[in-house]
Amino acid sequence: MAKTSKASPQPAEAKPANTPADIKTLAICASYGNQPSELLEILHDVQHALGHVPESTLPVIANALNLSRAEVHGVVTFYHDFKRAPGGQHTIKVCRAEACQSMGTDHLCRHAEKTLKTKMGGTSADGKVSLEQVFCLGNCSLSPAVLVGDKLYGKVDTKRFDEIVATLGKETAQ
Ligand code: FES
């Protein structure tokens, strides 16, 4: 006689962990005792280890923690901190907090998105630059503020933004 399945959330379909990303992800899950309550920490560690949270790791995590893939997917998509795709060679973080807002950061963000042809949280088509919004870089007196790597820029208008973007490739070439 066939057994009936339980009504609890269906864990993701089992899939052999055979890529380096899968193996790393499983090791991270194991380091947290495969505890579902540690999902956020696990996702942060996966992002730290792999640079983003690849779609392919979601069923691996779901299986390890005995969660459904939808549950893991829901958490990854809810928190904007998690990157779903690899970032660009450079990341430009534009502050959108109050002081920078009052100095025109919304206009700067629109310009940045138009120039790089990507939305906040995305990466330019050539893979060079990722664009991220942040909320206060501690440079409020020199708003609007922008952070590129560990270099902080103040009073960034659209012209200065273009200059910053233009220097990115050159810095890499040096
Ligand atoms: S509000 Fe933008 S740096 Fe503080």
Dist CA 54 CA 28 (whole Å)? 14
DSSP label of 140: G
Could you report the per-residue pLDDT of 4-50, keeping only the tens digit for each? Answer: 444 445 555 555 568 899 999 999 999 999 999 999 999 999 999 99
Tell me the residue type at 38.
E
DSSP label of 123: B
Note whether 118 and 103 are within 8 A (CB): no
| Cα 132 to ligand 1 centre (Å) | 14
Dist CA 120 CA 106 (whole Å)? 11
pLDDT per residue, tens digit, the chain (174 aa), is: 444 444 445 555 555 568 899 999 999 999 999 999 999 999 999 999 998 899 999 999 999 999 999 999 999 988 877 888 788 889 999 999 999 999 999 999 999 999 999 999 888 988 899 999 999 999 999 999 999 988 999 999 999 999 999 998 775 443
| Cα 25 to ligand 1 centre (Å) | 35
Furthest-apart CA pair in the chain: how many Å? 73
Is residue 152 within 6 Å of ligand 1 at its C-beta? no
Q: Which two tokens stand for residue 75?
A: 């958490």
pTM, 2 dp = 0.64
Dist CA 157 CA 159 (whole Å)? 6
Q: Which two tokens stand for residue 165?
A: 């973007």
Note whether 25 and 55 are within 8 A (CB): no
Is residue 112 within 6 Å of ligand 1 at its C-beta? no
| Cα 12 to ligand 1 centre (Å) | 42
* 136 CA: nearest ligand 1 atom: 4
| Cα 29 to ligand 1 centre (Å) | 36
Question: 2: part of which helix (H) or strand (E)?
Answer: none
Top-tier CATH class for 90-173: alpha beta
Is residue 95 within 6 Å of ligand 1 at its C-beta? yes
Pocket test for ligand 1, best of 93, 94, 132, 139 (most atoms within 8 A of CB): 139
* 96 CA: nearest ligand 1 atom: 2
As annotated, the residues of the chain forming the CATH 3.40.30.10 domain(s) are 90-173
Tell me the residue type at 37.
S
Dist CA 65 CA 26 (whole Å)? 10
- pLDDT at residue 79 in the model: 86
Strand ranges (E), the chain: 90-95, 129-134, 146-148, 151-153
